[in-house]
Structure 1
Amino acid sequence: MTDHTIITIGRQFGSGGHEIGNKLAQRLDIPLYDRNLIHMAAQEIGISNEAAENINETSLGRFLSSYVVSLGDYTTFMSGENVEPLSEQMYRVQTELVKKLAARGSCVIVGRCADYILGDYSNCIHVFIHAFKEDRIRRISRIYKLNDKQAWDKIRRTDRERRLYYETHAQRPWGSIESHQILFNASLMGVDGIVDALEAIYRARQK
């Protein structure tokens, strides 16, 4: 039994999940791990941050799955050899990092299949953030300077990749109550409302 609490956040693209994680971590004064986990894993493997970003939260079906780490900072194409795809190397290293960081102390982890990786840990709060289509389009349009159609195309593509990544590794439904303890609708509760709720749950557990 540990005396710290880990909050994992899964999220639909455009739901505000990253903003919620960032605000919560700041309010609780605990570390936030999200995209920085990609860079930490890249350093462990010995590839560039750019290469690692290209396989961020994607599944074996993506084209970089056919590549492996070679000497230096580049990759070589697989040609029937028994080698581990780069995507799986990234997932394995990120899994190890998530477990190490969870053992170190309280933190917020956004994405990375963290709820599945830490599924046996009793000191975790696993949540998933949903939002209505219109609100997601509005958010992504504003952030990426896209029109509504472009924003919705980006949302559908990103959600599809996240779902495939999660379900490939976790073997259970992405964003469902079967996979998480709590589901939040950011359109109904608002970003700050969800942060307030998670802060209250966190502080209650800490007592």
Structure 2
Amino acid sequence: MTDHTIITIGRQFGSGGHEIGNRLAERLDIPLYDHNLIRMAAQELKVSNEEASRVDESILGKFLSAYVVGTGDYTTFAGSDVYEAPLSDRMYETQTEIIKKLAKQSSCIFVGRCADYVLGDYSNCINAFIYAYKDDRIRRVMNIYKLTEKQAWDKIKKTDKERKLYYEARTGREWGQIESHEMMLNVSLMGIDGAVDALEAIYRTWEGREHE
């Protein structure tokens, strides 16, 4: 691969990982790839953004391998001689190829999508996992999505469970553990700005090292 420095960000839901990625991309003036990866993959697969979003960072296809995703409900093709991999599998494979291509083009930031694993053979990769305390995550989700405390916590548990299943099924690693992500940043202690400052400092150090 190239000498570009890449940052990957895994995150608990409600921890501020997406915001950290956005702020960091602005400071470093490099591209951020998060939800736009869904649109890119959808275009490659010739499916709607809605269909792609439905299975993004989801392991749904692993449990529904006898079905294909149609325009609305799941449609069985039992008895057919034609087999098409579940959309979630095709989404993962397509996003994987897109991530590898983008990493070759320039320094950039990837949020989620197992990017740390996908780029595992790339030495110039800063892999961070963003987390925060339960109360802080609940407050953040309540504020962003205008939910009650119970609704916010239910949404956090559901989303984290989906991300954990997705990551562990695709990588064989344990989601949210230091052995998997190399660097853990607690936003409840550091704050959003502190996490951005830390990642910016590491990035600039790595970039300086490459140009010595």
AA paired with 2:25? A
Rounded to whole Å, the distance in 1 between the matches of 2:40 and 2:75 is: 21
> What is aligned with 1:77?
76
| Aligned-residue offset at 1:79 | 1.9
Distance 1:192 1:44, change over 3 A: same
| Aligned-residue offset at 1:65 | 5.5
Distance 1:69 1:150, change over 3 A: closer
> What is aligned with 2:148?
147
* Contact 1:6–1:102 under 8 Å retained in 2: yes
TM-score (structure 2 length as normaliser) = 0.91
AA paired with 2:201? A
Distance 1:192 1:150, change over 3 A: same
Q: Deviations over 1:18-60 (max 9, x none)?
A: 0000000010000000010011000000100001110111103
> What is aligned with 1:43?
43
| Aligned-residue offset at 1:173 | 0.1
> What is aligned with 1:115?
116
Distance 1:64 1:141, change over 3 A: farther
Q: Deviations over 1:53-98 (max 9, x none)?
A: 101111036777654367xx78743425532111100000000000
Rounded to whole Å, the distance in 2 between the matches of 1:92 and 1:21 is: 23
Distance 1:65 1:199, change over 3 A: farther
> What is aligned with 1:163?
164
> What is aligned with 1:134?
135
Identical aligned residues as a percent: 66
Unaligned runs of 5+ in 1: none
> What is aligned with 1:189?
190
Rounded to whole Å, the distance in 1 between the matches of 2:57 and 2:77 is: 21
Rounded to whole Å, the distance in 2 between the matches of 1:133 and 1:58 is: 23
* Contact 1:25–1:32 under 8 Å retained in 2: yes
Q: Deviations over 1:90-131 (max 9, x none)?
A: 000000000000111100000000001011100100000010
| Aligned-residue offset at 1:178 | 1.0
| Aligned-residue offset at 1:2 | 3.1
Matched, 1:15 2:15: yes
AA paired with 2:135? E
Unaligned runs of 5+ in 2: none
Q: CA RMSD in A?
A: 1.9
Rounded to whole Å, the distance in 2 between the matches of 1:56 and 1:78 is: 22
Rounded to whole Å, the distance in 1 between the matches of 2:86 and 2:112 is: 21
Distance 1:10 1:25, change over 3 A: same
Distance 1:136 1:104, change over 3 A: same
> What is aligned with 2:56?
56
Matched, 1:96 2:97: yes
Q: How many residues align?
A: 205
